């Protein structure tokens, strides 16, 4: 959708205003709605915030059903519950090349999207993502590299929600996930020395 969104990027629906109860979820009519934003640096202190590119950024309003907050710039997973598909998420990606719902709004504070609140995830267009903690081959990402989700201990771990290069070697079953569940394409680059870094990518998950 174009026009005024229910809340701006860099914020969430409740945005820390109160503790949300599972028995009284706000914004049910907003869940799963798409909005298109300009690719603007919403963290800029300038009166007129500068454009980062000429692209548009398509976002989806999703509710966080995980018991923990979702970090900005992390790739997250859909909640596998009938009736809420593509409207609710329940954790950060923790399996290599698993299907991603999108990338949590990079302009949020470190608080991220808290449990039961609604926030934006990017599904199409430029967004910052987070690189691995280890300085290995998963952290060697030239411009143009196709990105997929990285394995982690759990969906709430520090290692979760990160990206790695697509790997088209190995068993057929593994290749299917690598080919189908791509997160996007690197627009900037990192090397093995740039661990836990921000990488600009063109997201394309839907």
- How do residues 74-97 score in pLDDT, each as one tens digit? 999 999 988 887 999 999 999 999
- In tens, the pLDDT along 133-160 reads 999 999 999 999 999 999 999 999 999 9
Residue 184 lies in a domain: yes
Residue 98 lies in a domain: yes
- In tens, the pLDDT along 166-196 reads 998 877 767 888 989 999 999 999 999 999 9
Residue 11 lies in a domain: no
Residue 190 lies in a domain: yes
Query: For residue 111, what are the domain limits?
Result: 34-204
pTM: 0.94
Residue with tokens 């999108």: 102
Residue 183 lies in a domain: yes
Question: What's the structural domain count of the chain?
Answer: 1
φ, ψ for residue 109, nearest 5 deg: -70, 175
Residue 126 lies in a domain: yes
Residue 22 lies in a domain: no
Residue 2 lies in a domain: no
């Amino acid at each position: 959708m174009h026009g005024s969104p229910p809340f701006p990027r860099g914020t969430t629906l409740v945005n820390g205003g109160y503790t949300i109860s599972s028995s009284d979820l706000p914004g049910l009519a907003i869940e799963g709605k798409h909005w298109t934003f300009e690719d603007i640096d919403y963290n800029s202190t300038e009166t007129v915030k500068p454009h980062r590119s000429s692209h548009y950024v398509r976002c989806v309003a999703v509710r966080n059903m995980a018991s923990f907050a979702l970090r900005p710039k992390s790739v997250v997973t859909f909640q596998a519950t009938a009736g809420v598909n593509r409207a609710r998420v329940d954790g950060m990606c923790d399996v290599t090349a698993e299907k991603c719902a999108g990338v949590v709004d990079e302009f949020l504070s470190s608080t991220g999207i808290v449990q039961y609140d609604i926030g934006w995830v990017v599904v199409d267009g430029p967004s910052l993502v987070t690189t691995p903690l280890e300085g290995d081959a998963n952290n060697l990402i030239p411009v143009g590299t196709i990105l997929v989700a990285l394995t982690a201990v759990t969906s709430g771990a520090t290692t979760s929600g990160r990206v790695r290069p697509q790997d088209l070697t190995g068993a057929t079953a593994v290749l299917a996930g690598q080919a189908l569940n791509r997160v996007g394409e690197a627009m900037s680059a990192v090397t093995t020395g740039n661990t836990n870094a921000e990488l600009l990518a063109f997201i394309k998950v839907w």
